[in-house]
Amino acid sequence: MLVHTIAEVREKIKEWKKEGLTVGLVPTMGALHSGHKSLIEKSVEKCDRTVVSVFVNPIQFCPGEDLEKYPRTLEADEKLCTEAGVDIVFAPSPKEMYGEGHIMSSDFLTYVIPPYFYVDKLCGKSRTGHFDGVCTVVNKLFNIVQPDFAFFGEKDRQQLIILKKMVKDLNIPVEIVPCPIIREESGLALSSRNKYLSEEDKKHALALSKILFNIKACYDKGINDVSSLTETAYSYLSEHHELEYLEFRDADDLEEKVNADDNTIVFIALKVANVRLIDNIALR
Based on CB atoms, which residue is closest to ligand AMP, 29 or 84?
Answer: 29
Based on CB atoms, which residue is closest to ligand AMP, 104 or 277?
Answer: 277
CB of 206 to ligand AMP, least distance (A): 14
Phi, psi at residue 200, to the nearest 5°? -65, -45
Q: Please report whether residue 191 would count as binding ligand AMP according to CB under 6 A.
A: yes
CB of 120 to ligand AMP, least distance (A): 21
**Active site annotation includes 36:** yes
**Position among 2, 109, 176, 190 found at the interface with ligand AMP (CB under 6 A):** 190
Enumerate the β-bridge partners of residue 24: 50, 149
Q: How far apart are CA 181 and CA 158, in angstroms?
A: 13
| Three-class secondary structure of residue 33 per DSSP | coil
Give just the sign of the alpha carbon dihedral 102, 107, 113, 118. Answer: positive
Q: Please report whether residue 275 would count as binding ligand AMP according to CB under 6 A.
A: no
DSSP letter string, 169-197: HTT-S-EEEEEPPPB-TTSPBP-GGGGG-
CB of 117 to ligand AMP, least distance (A): 21
Q: Please report whether residue 179 would count as binding ligand AMP according to CB under 6 A.
A: yes
CB of 38 to ligand AMP, least distance (A): 6
Q: How far apart are CA 70 and CA 92, in angstroms?
A: 16
Q: How far apart are CA 61 and CA 26, in angstroms?
A: 20
Stretch that binds ligand AMP, among 6-14, 101-109, 139-147, 174-182 (CB under 6 A): 174-182
Query: Length of the chain, please?
Result: 284
**Binding to ligand AMP (CB under 6 A): which residues in 20-59?**
28-29, 35-36, 38-39
Give the helix ranges, DSSP H, for 90-156: 94-98, 116-119, 123-126, 130-145
**Position among 192, 224, 264, 280 found at the interface with ligand AMP (CB under 6 A):** 192
Residues forming contacts to ligand AMP in the complex (CB under 6 A) are 28-29, 35-36, 38-39, 152-153, 155-156, 179, 181-182, 189-192
